[in-house]
Amino acid sequence: MRILVPVDEDKGLDSPVSEEFGEAPYFAIVEAGGVKILSNSQVFTGRGHRWEEILRLEPNVVITKEIGKPAYYALRSRGVKILLAEGSTLREVLERAKKGELKEFPPEMAHEPRHRH
């Protein structure tokens, strides 16, 4: 399973979970082999919609505090599970996810895009 979480700093499991999704400074990719942190500029290269570039990372699950409607519906339509992040660090949200304590991200919380495409 490949989990994607937007984070504010590159501090491994101690990285604070970002209040942003597409505008997050970093993205943590968590797999059985460990945690890899990519900068926003490594993820978003300007080659299409941001959600298309997220899909290139092949996440099975996204854990986030917010997400725009285009990304939400694009990810969901491709089978990506989106969970509402509860916790302040990557470690906390992953522990809560492992225990099954995180809820599905409510569709009504997805917002209109706030950036240019």
pTM metric for this prediction: 0.93
Q: Look at residue 7 and tell me whether its pLDDT is greater than 90.
A: yes
Output the pLDDT for position 116.
53
Q: What is the reported pLDDT for 47?
A: 75
β-strand 81-84 against 34-39: which pairing, if any? Answer: unpaired
Q: Write out pLDDT tens, residues 71-115.
A: 999 999 999 999 999 999 999 999 999 999 999 999 999 998 765
83 CB contacts (<8 Å, ≥6 apart)? 61, 62, 63, 64, 97, 102, 103, 104, 105
pLDDT tens by residue, 16-59: 999 999 899 999 999 998 999 999 999 998 877 888 999 999 99
| Strand pairing class (26-31; 81-84) | unpaired
